[in-house]
Amino acid sequence: MNFIMLTLGLLIGSFLNVCIYRIPRSESISFPPSHCPKCRTNLKPIDLIPVISFIWTRGKCRYCREKISMRYPIVEILNALIYLILYLKFSITILFIKYALLSSILVVISFIDYDYQIIPDEVIIFGIILSFIIHIGYNFKGNMWDGIAGLLIGGGLFLIIALVTNAMGGGDIKLMGMLGFSLGYKYILLITLLSFIIGAIVSLILISLKIKSRKDFIPFGPFIAMAAFVTIYYGNEMINWYILKIIS
């Protein structure tokens, strides 16, 4: 089953690459078929095997020999590892499906935000629709009210931060609203805290290594995504630990 999860993650990861490339360019994710962005040649099934095709062609297009970005296998492998990690924790459950799809959405958002400093509305809307469908099928009444509270708290907190500091963009606000609706108010509070901690640590590392300077803009979406994944995996344990600390 672990192999199946890895394979599923790789296949979906290949589709995520299409989304990451096409959505910021306002291109359809379904048409035209996959093609080389350089020579525009339509790719055959043998060219689309996740990771293996990249290794087999030594990271070059089979038709024009232009170099293919390492981004493609990285996204595929990342998504596969996420699926495996979530499967090992949640097994095949509605929570696994919810968290796996949400994590894939966060992968797309992270790479688009890193490249273009935008978080596309269509990705946020898809995440909200997906969460709504899952709420309907799984404890509708409890999840819906929890989700609405999470949306208001997550989006509201970042809206206030944006108004006070001018440090957050509209995409970050909408992303936090979407995550709040999907995960609920307890998790969104934890995501808020963790995103600033992760953002501070990563930013300090980038600046100290001179990859970024203090004046450079560093998109916050990837930090929110990392915080969300940590919360999905460890959220209950972290919240319970905090509660026990208060009681003791």
First to last CA, the chain: 41
- Using the predicted structure, report yes or no on whether residue 5 has a pLDDT greater than 80: yes
Other C-beta atoms lying within 10 Å of the C-beta of residue 226: 18
- Using the predicted structure, report yes or no on whether residue 165 has a pLDDT greater than 70: yes
**Over the stretch 111-159, which tens digit does the pLDDT of each residue have?**
999 999 999 999 999 999 999 988 887 766 667 888 999 999 999 999 9
- Give the pLDDT of residue 114: 92
**Over the stretch 171-201, which tens digit does the pLDDT of each residue have?**
999 999 999 999 999 999 999 999 999 999 9
**What percent of the chain is predicted at pLDDT more than 70?**
97
Closest CA to 124 of 105, 137, 111: 105
Least confident of 44-48, 76-80, 111-115, 192-196: 44-48
CB 232 within 8 A of CB 102: yes
Structure tokens given for 34? 């996959």
Alpha helix ranges (H) inside 26-93: 52-56, 71-90
Its pTM stands at: 0.92
